[in-house]
Amino acid sequence: EENVDLNGPEFKQLMEHLASLPGIETRIHHEKGTERVLTEVYLIGSTLQLSVEDMKALPCVERVVRVSEPYRVLGRHKDDQRLSYFDYNGLRFGQDTLHVFAGLCAVDTREHVEMMMRALRDHGQVCTRMGAYKPRTSPYSFQGHGKACLPYVFELAGKYGIKVIAMEITHEDHIDQIREALHMTGNPTGVMLQIGTRNAQNFELLKAVGRQQEFPVLFKRGFGITLDESLNAAEYLASEGNRKVIFGLRGMKTNMGDPHRNFVDFSHVPVVKRLTRMPVCIDPSHSVGSRAMAPDGLLDIMHVTAQGVIAGANMILVDFHPEPSKALVDGPQALTLAELPYFLEDVRIAREAYLRRAA
Ligand code: E4P
Ligand code: PEP
């Protein structure tokens, strides 16, 4: 239920008044809260001349906030502790939900995709990750099967009840390729577009992805820039209109001879949740980068996953492979299908512990 009647005379009067203000542009966003949909009207331009008190007196206005923080749409402003959500293909994403996206870092064969999806279905999972377009350090490394694999990936997703696939895109043309393949296969699944760490500041790609509102977006933090720079980059998506954005932590480059592929940054989960209204994803696979194991017999990937979940993570993106030694990308960090139930069990235990303490 909307908090205002968008077709009513009062809202019309408000919008007419705002349109008459010189040097001011308006943008409307609908924020889905626990009980109702909040309509937020953003005033962009010379807002310093406006008085908060005058704005409060206008029809339909419940609250006026002067936003000076850079993350205008995605940020959490002043005392606003409200939770908001977005729904996509039957699933709800917010700062209090948790979804596991286990799957292939890179699609290699149809058989491996099917084995992965069957295992997910058998363990009650409805989300996965599938890499078709791979951003590689070397131009000579496998770059992904691209659009050629999309039809069988989507068809198998439908067969095994997968509702959302996280899939990285590296060029805006990939959005159309995904849309076409979904259409061709009868829309059997949903897709969450992923912006990888290497494209975190590819502003034209961000703008293009932000302009479409059909697919939600997983934005991964840049591995060599500040958190503030990454949050600003995520804001590009929302400023163009798409606020169905999840913020991904995947470790940072530190060049300090770290034992992990990247320095694990999951202690930033609550920081991002405090600064913004985005759900937060953790990627233990790209953070740790290997199957290293502690003396307690647990893989470091399992340890850091539990740390991220305890910190309040809302999504886990994690690499699995039926035969890691045959994986064409990032095999050394892939968990096996036999490890899937243990991984899910660890997530359940950590989540239960988190929920016991969280407000
Ligand atoms: C996969 O997810 C990325 O493409 C991969 O981590 C890139 O790393 P590399 O090309 O250095 O192997
Ligand atoms: C990935 O998730 O496949 C990936 C390339 O991750 P990142 O952008 O974090 O390196």
Model confidence at 83: pLDDT above 90: no
Name the residue with the closest Cα to ligand 2, atom 10. 197
**Ligand 2 pocket list (CB less than 6 A):** 105, 131, 135, 168, 196-198, 220, 250, 283, 286
Length of the chain: 359
Rg over alpha carbons for the chain, rounded to the nearest Å, is: 21
Read off the pLDDT band of 309 (50, 70, 90).
Answer: very high
Task: Determine the average pLDDT of the residues in 328-336.
Answer: 98
Q: Say how many Å lie between the CA of residue 177 and the centre of ligand 1.
A: 22
Average pLDDT value over all residues in the chain: 94
ipTM of the complex: 0.97
Name the residue with the closest Cα to ligand 1, atom 5. 136
Name the residue with the closest Cα to ligand 2, atom 9. 197
Task: Determine the average pLDDT of the residues in 41-68.
Answer: 87
Read off the pLDDT band of 154 (50, 70, 90).
Answer: very high
Hey, which bits of 70-163 come out as E strands? 85-88, 91-94, 99-103, 127-129
Work out which ligand 1 atom sits closest to the CA atom of 131: 2
Name the residue with the closest Cα to ligand 1, atom 11. 137
Name the residue with the closest Cα to ligand 1, atom 2. 105
Model confidence at 256: pLDDT above 90: no
For residue 197, the ligand closest to its alpha carbon is 2
Query: pLDDT > 90: what percent of the chain?
Result: 82
Q: Say how many Å lie between the CA of residue 207 and the centre of ligand 2.
A: 20
Query: Other CB atoms closer than 10 Å to residue 317's CB: what's the count?
Result: 28
Work out which ligand 1 atom sits closest to the CA atom of 105: 2
Surface-to-core class of residue 195, CB atoms within 10 Å of its CB (0-12 exposed, 13-18 middle, 19+ buried): buried
Give the closest residue to 285 by CA, choosing from 102, 11, 148. 102
Specify the pLDDT at position 74.
92
Give the closest residue to 320 by CA, choosing from 304, 298, 303, 342. 342
Any alpha helices (H) in the chain, and if so which ranges? 9-20, 52-56, 110-122, 150-159, 173-184, 203-211, 227-239, 269-275, 284-288, 300-310, 340-357
Q: Say how many Å lie between the CA of residue 166 and the centre of ligand 2.
A: 11
Give the full edge-to-edge strand order of the sheet including 85-88.
Answer: 37-45, 24-32, 85-88, 91-94
Read off the pLDDT band of 357 (50, 70, 90).
Answer: very high
Task: Determine the average pLDDT of the residues in 61-65.
Answer: 88
Pocket test for ligand 1, best of 105, 218, 329 (most atoms within 8 A of CB): 329
Q: Say how many Å lie between the CA of residue 320 and the centre of ligand 1.
A: 15
Q: Say how many Å lie between the CA of residue 145 and the centre of ligand 1.
A: 14
Specify the pLDDT at position 1.
67
**Residue-by-residue DSSP string for 289-324:** -S--B-TTS-BHHHHHHHHHHHTT-SEEEEEB-SSG
